[in-house]
Amino acid sequence: MHLVVASGNAHKTAEIRRILGDLVTSVEDLSAHPEIKEIQETGATFEENAVIKALETGRALGDGAWILSDDSGLEVDALGGKPGVYSARYSGAGASDADNRVKLLEKMAGIDGEENSRSARFRCAMVLARGGQKIAVFEGALEGVIANAEKGEQGFGYDSLFIPEGYSETFGQLPPEVKNSMSHRGRALEKFKLWLARQDLPNENGCSNHVGNQKKAEWET
């Protein structure tokens, strides 16, 4: 399967490529398709936005393309679930990741002390589409807390502010393979892998890729 990630975010694509490894033939993203104009994310949920991105990209690329979209973000309990679907544009249209982190730290100033008061989660919804049809939705989430200051250089977005449950370091400090093994995106992709293992898709040579004898997949749950 040649997969087109319906995103221009090179960090997301790199994580997806690394997590899927040789389960797919190749992974490209919208940087390879400059003819596709920016897709407006008008949905109220991660899943709605993921559907919009997958179907619009599918329409632009035609029937044969396998599209996987990723809509994701951070929900902070003390902020009523914000920034949520607005994570990429938290401090305004065209905001940089750094701008968004500064705004989040400002909003979180003084929120401390009580148990769970800085609790948050990353969420990810992925939609697989082909031929203009939504084929499957894969979701993942990861609980954690918001750090008091940025720590670490790894990753992107809010990684340097997010301490995953069970750890004392941020995703900015943890190695990428540790993040990928537990992240919201990693968890959604585990469900995609289960889905893939149940399919009987022709490979590049026209032969079957069917793995067979799979237990009932968890991707539906």
Sheet-wide strand order for 2-5: 26-29, 2-5, 66-76, 119-130, 133-146, 162-164
Q: Is 71 annotated as catalytic? A: yes
Nearer to ligand IMP, 167 or 217 (CB): 167
> Which spans of this chain sit near ligand IMP (rule: CB under 6 A)?
9, 41, 71-74, 87-88, 97, 100, 122, 155-159, 183, 185
Residue 43 half-sphere exposure toward CB, CA atoms < 13 A: 17
Amino acid found at 88: A
The single residue of 71, 97, 99, 200 carrying the catalytic annotation is 71
Q: Which residue is nearest to ligand IMP (CB)?
A: 157
Q: Indicate the residue among 58 and 73 with the shorter CB distance to ligand IMP.
A: 73
- In the bound complex, what is the minimum distance in angstroms from residue 98's beta carbon to ligand IMP? 10
Q: What gap in Å lies between CA 124 and CA 45, rounded to an integer?
A: 10
Nearest distance in Å: CB 3, ligand IMP: 17
Phi, then psi, of 120 in degrees rounded to 5: -160, 170
Shortest reach from residue 70's CB to ligand IMP, in Å = 6
Residue 75: φ, ψ to 5°: -115, 120
Which residues are designated catalytic? 71
